[in-house]
Amino acid sequence: MNIEQRVVRAWNGRINTRVDVCGSGPPLLFLHGESGHWDPFLDRLARRFTVYAPDFPGTSPGAEQEIDELRDIWDLTLYFEELLDALGLDSVALAGHSIGGMFAAELAAHARARIRRLVLIAPAGLWRDDRPVPNWWSIPAAELPQRTVAQPDGLVGQIMFAVPRDRDAAIEQVIRKTWALACAGKFTWPIPDKGLARRIHRISAPSLIVWGRQDRMIPPVYAEEFAARIGGARTLLVDNAGHIPQLEQMDQVGDAVMRFLD
């Protein structure tokens, strides 16, 4: 598919964000995890929707220091609302994955009239003392594949954690991922409990919660937590999938999300 890249200005012109746009049909805003990029799952969504997938603030090339313009989760939520304004999107379907799911939930709780439907894929944002979410920043790189995907040696795991053979490219990859984690960590460190539990009841859009049963990054028990706090939310637990079920079991998740959004 032909992906158009736009640079969109928001936050009184102080933040420039690269937004990937693809597809045709009703608008769908997709919020990546901290270091996400366009992937085959978004290609699937773009068959029926116009998908808008922005970089996380501070991770667009040449705009790294602009993350300093946002101080807290409230600033970030209002920034995403302004991004909708800048894109000319009055009413959208909204989806988010991992940390992006947390920010999608915050946006849906705030801008209720603008969110038509909501899909949260293994979102962060809630906390249980009996099932704590691990500190992402302290997990050794060697453990990330086992934490993230159900089959670390499978195709998704190999692609996700492949290291470029070129030394300079490998160094650049580490720098880019580290900076993306730092940008997201500004709003989630040391734990991703920034008060969403106090606001999540405001979400009024029909909602679908998707979780991999083998998620070892954010325990799947949190699917029940999100569903219990969002009125009428549906839950999809996906077998043989970890923290990225939309890629690990793309047919199942893609079909379910498409049916829900339609």
Query: Tokens at residue 111, please?
Result: 């801008």
Strand ranges, E, within 79-114:
92-97
pLDDT digits (tens), the chain, 262 positions: 799 999 999 999 999 999 999 999 999 999 998 767 899 999 999 999 999 999 999 999 999 999 999 999 999 999 999 999 999 999 999 999 999 999 999 999 999 999 999 999 999 999 999 999 988 878 888 898 999 999 988 888 888 878 888 888 888 888 888 898 899 999 998 889 999 999 999 999 999 999 999 999 999 999 999 999 999 999 999 999 999 999 999 999 999 999 999 8
In sign, the C-alpha dihedral spanning 181, 182, 183, 188 is positive
In sign, the C-alpha dihedral spanning 113, 114, 116, 120 is negative
Q: Are 47 and 84 in contact (CB under 8 A)?
A: no
Identity (one letter) of the amino acid at 12?
N
List the alpha helices (DSSP H) in 116-244.
144-148, 155-160, 167-185, 196-199, 221-229
Q: Are 238 and 252 in contact (CB under 8 A)?
A: yes
CA-to-CA distance for 30 and 87, rounded, in angstroms?
13
Residues in the chain: 262
- What count of Cα atoms within 13 Å lies in the side-chain half-sphere of residue 125? 29
CA-to-CA distance for 79 and 87, rounded, in angstroms?
12
CA-to-CA distance for 153 and 126, rounded, in angstroms?
30
What's the DSSP call for residue 16? E
